[in-house]
Structure 1
Amino acid sequence: MTQPSPKPVVWLGDTRATLRACPQDVQDEVGYALYLAQISEKYAGAKPLKGLGPGVLEVVADHRGDTYRAVYTVRFAERVYVLHVFRKKSKKGIATPQSDIELVRQRLKRAAELDQKREH
């Protein structure tokens, strides 16, 4: 059985630089999740990000008391778009801060625009 060719990853905004600034084990976990997305599989720790529709996933990685999150979408057939990478600052609750949700929404819209242009 042949393995499908991995889909390219498109890093929106500063997501790539932000991930590279994260601890190595966080980079490894997010990188593995993205690799699985590239070959149309789902990382066991990836959860849908509520309120953003299908195909928007979040990976939560803990490192020495800090929580890091990476949000990406597999909504588009030919590419995996990384929408946001950040360290959760609030120690209260598990909800993603509204400002981060808004940034994800903006970048999801941008991903749709880029994907639409690619098709034409």
Structure 2
Amino acid sequence: MSDLKPIQFLGTSLDDLRSFPVSARREAGYQLDQVQHGHEPDDWKPMVTVGQSVREIRIRDASGGFRIIYVAKFANAIYVLHCFQKKTQKTSISDLSIAKKRYRDLIQEHS
């Protein structure tokens, strides 16, 4: 088995992920495993408003839409910036600002 990049959860992202319903949590784990193996998640989009190389994994289940915002461009780890349930069509400003702040802090830490 090849060396998998570890996943680092920033801020409250791990607790937020743990609050997802079981089926969404299971799907999130599968999608993050795909990223660890160097593959694309099944449903994702770039989040350039948050930062360069930041992506959003999109998960839908019976309880609604769930999102995982992460960045995998660093050699040492995959960083999960934010996990949340999406309640409207547009991502809320507060969810975006949480992800942006964690991304800025991460970039500062790596420079």
Per the shorter chain, which TM-score range? Answer: 0.7 to 0.9
* Aligned-pair Cα RMSD in Å: 1.7
The alignment of Structure 1 onto Structure 2 pairs a total of residues equal to: 111
Shift of 1:12: 0.6
Runs (5+) with no aligned partner, structure 2 = none
Instruction: Say which SS state the counterpart of residue 41 (structure 2) adopts.
Output: coil
Greater Cα shift, 18-27 or 47-56 = 47-56
CA distance in 2 between counterparts of 1:20 and 1:53 reads 25
Q: What residue is the counterpart of 1:112 in the other structure? A: 107
Matches within 5 A, 1:50-69: 50-69=48-67
Deviation for aligned residue 1:34: 1.2
Change (3 A) 1:50 1:113: closer
Q: Under a length normalisation based on structure 1, what TM-score does the superposition of the two structures give?
A: 0.81
Separation in structure 2 between the aligned mates of residue 30 and residue 17 of structure 1, nearest angstrom = 13
Q: Determine whether 1:4 maps to 2:39.
A: no
Which range is displaced more, 37-46 or 98-107?
Answer: 37-46
User: Percent of aligned pairs with the same residue?
Assistant: 29
**CA distance change for structure 1 residues 114 and 53 in 2, over 3 Å: closer, same or farther?**
closer
Letter paired with 1:27: R
1:1-120 equivalent positions in 2, closer than 5 A = 3-90=1-88, 94-116=89-111
What residue identity is the alignment partner of 2:105? R
What TM-score does the superposition give when structure 2 sets the normalisation length?
0.86
Q: Could you list the runs of 5+ residues in structure 1 that have no partner in the other structure? A: none
1:9-43 alpha-carbon deviations (Å, 9 max, x no partner)? 11011111111111111112211221122222211
Deviates further, 41-50 or 7-16: 41-50
Computing the radius of gyration from Cα coordinates, the structure with the larger value is 1
